[in-house]
């Protein structure tokens, strides 16, 4: 039988009423939409898997979110797919100034970043140099929870539009987000329109959110609706 080890300590069984009441901190974005997507803010120590169609703007999505959180927290964007110069060029276009960016692929280097920053985005999971994907995801989740670091993993998709890699990745992540390009006319919007689909969230609701995305990035301040939509018509989604 498969066994996952994320480094948590064994606990005895205790009635909930007998446990000491605790606060479970969540990092809050200045965008209501993003707080709603995460589930009333980003729970400390939680790991989010992000997938998306080609060109839907996964890097843009996370750079903007990191820049917003950087007002109060240390944020890092680690890429093994784009050079620091390429990331810098994107940041200039998006007016992202306070996110720390860099190129690295070593699992140990990435784990050290997780230990040192409050919010870390890794682009991409498949580009991490490691012995196995199982080892990588277990260590990333373990360190995130040990240091209360919020981590987002960008995961490649197959031609069949499913996430690449073993089942360990979505199983161990606390939330899964897929970005999909929509037909703007389905929502009465103009220009590039993105559906944010959170179909798993241990820390909040699941659902769909719709937002426009232009040359300057996502317009998180003016979404189609800040509340999650339960269903999206199939013809609302553009084919890759």
pLDDT tens for each residue of 107-126: 999 999 999 999 999 999 99
Q: Identify the pLDDT of residue 10.
A: 84
pTM: predicted TM-score of the whole model, two decimal places? 0.93
As for how many domains the chain has, the answer is 1
Q: Identify the pLDDT of residue 12.
A: 87
Structure tokens at 66: 């990191």
Q: Is residue 189 part of a domain?
A: yes
Q: Is residue 10 part of a domain?
A: no
Q: What is the CATH classification number for the domain harbouring 64?
A: 3.40.50.300
What phi and psi, each to the nearest 5 degrees, are found at residue 210?
Answer: -125, 135
Q: Please check whether residue 66 is in contact with residue 119, taking contact to mean a CB–CB distance below 8 angstroms.
A: yes
Tell me which residue range forms the domain holding 183. Answer: 44-236
Q: Is residue 139 part of a domain?
A: yes
How many CA atoms within 13 Å lie on the side-chain side of 181? 14
All residue ranges of the chain with pLDDT < 70 are 1-4, 159-161, 239-240
Q: Identify the pLDDT of residue 3.
A: 61
What phi and psi, each to the nearest 5 degrees, are found at residue 235?
Answer: -75, 0
Q: Is residue 3 part of a domain?
A: no
Q: Identify the pLDDT of residue 239.
A: 67
Q: Is residue 172 part of a domain?
A: yes
Q: Identify the pLDDT of residue 1.
A: 46
Q: Is residue 39 part of a domain?
A: no
Q: In angstroms, rounded to a whole number, what is the distance separating the alpha carbons of residues 95 and 109?
A: 27
Q: Is residue 1 part of a domain?
A: no
Q: Is residue 180 part of a domain?
A: yes
| Pick from 200, 135, 198, 137: nearest CA to 169 | 137
């Amino acid at each position: 039988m498969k066994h996952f080890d994320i480094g948590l300590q064994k606990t005895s069984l205790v009635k909930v009423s007998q446990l000491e009441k605790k606060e479970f901190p969540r990092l809050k974005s200045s965008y209501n939409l993003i707080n709603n997507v995460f589930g009333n803010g980003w729970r400390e120590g939680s790991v989010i898997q992000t997938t998306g169609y080609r060109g839907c703007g996964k890097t843009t999505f996370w750079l903007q979110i990191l820049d917003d959180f950087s007002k109060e927290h240390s944020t890092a964007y680690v890429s093994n797919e784009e050079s620091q110069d390429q990331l810098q060029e994107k940041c200039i276009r998006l007016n992202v100034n306070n996110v720390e960016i860099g190129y690295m692929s070593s699992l140990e280097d990435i784990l050290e970043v997780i230990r040192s920053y409050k919010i870390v985005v890794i682009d991409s999971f498949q580009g991490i140099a490691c012995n196995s994907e199982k080892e990588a995801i277990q260590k990333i989740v373990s360190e995130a929870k040990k240091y209360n670091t919020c981590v987002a993993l960008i995961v490649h998709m197959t031609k069949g539009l499913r996430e690449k890699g073993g089942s360990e990745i979505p199983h161990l992540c606390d939330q899964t987000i897929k970005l999909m390009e929509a037909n703007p006319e389905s929502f009465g919007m103009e220009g590039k329109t993105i559906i944010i689909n959170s179909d798993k969230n241990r820390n909040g609701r699941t659902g769909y959110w719709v937002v426009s995305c232009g040359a300057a990035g996502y317009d998180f301040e003016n979404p189609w609706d800040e509340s999650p939509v339960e269903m999206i018509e199939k013809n609302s989604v553009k084919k890759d």
